[in-house]
């Protein structure tokens, strides 16, 4: 994953340099590279979403109370 993000970052740098150089062919190539990499990352995250949905739909889960908060022992930084 970090390799893919690094490649996307390289493509963004190419786009920036091509734009500064007013090189339309390099701009077009960079945009195509960015599109390709973004589609790959999108597919990766789509697969995670699908797996999470399947897990939630196939389990017998308890109802989450409205006032639920993640236990402090979990060190979850984004709780209410």
pLDDT tens for each residue of 33-48: 999 999 989 999 999 9
Q: What is the reported pTM? A: 0.63
Residue 79 within any structural domain of the chain: no
Residue 36 is predicted with a pLDDT of: 94
Residue 50 within any structural domain of the chain: yes
Q: Is the pLDDT of residue 80 over 60?
A: no
Residue 43 within any structural domain of the chain: yes
Give residue 25's domain range: 2-74
Domain count, the chain: 1
Q: Stretch 43-63: mean pLDDT, rounded? A: 92
Residue 10 within any structural domain of the chain: yes
How far is CA 8 from each of CA 22, 23, 37, 66, rounded to the nearest angstrom?
A: 21, 19, 6, 40
Q: Stretch 6-34: mean pLDDT, rounded? A: 96
Residue 35 within any structural domain of the chain: yes
Percent of the chain at pLDDT > 70 equals: 98
């Amino acid at each position: 994953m970090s390799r893919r993000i690094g490649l996307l970052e390289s493509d963004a740098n190419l786009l920036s340099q091509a734009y500064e150089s007013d090189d339309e062919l390099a701009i077009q190539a960079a945009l195509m590279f960015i599109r390709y990499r973004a589609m790959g990352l999108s597919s990766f995250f789509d697969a995670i979403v699908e797996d999470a949905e399947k897990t939630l739909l196939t389990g017998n889960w308890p109802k989450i109370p409205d006032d639920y908060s993640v236990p402090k022992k979990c060190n979850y930084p984004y709780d209410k």
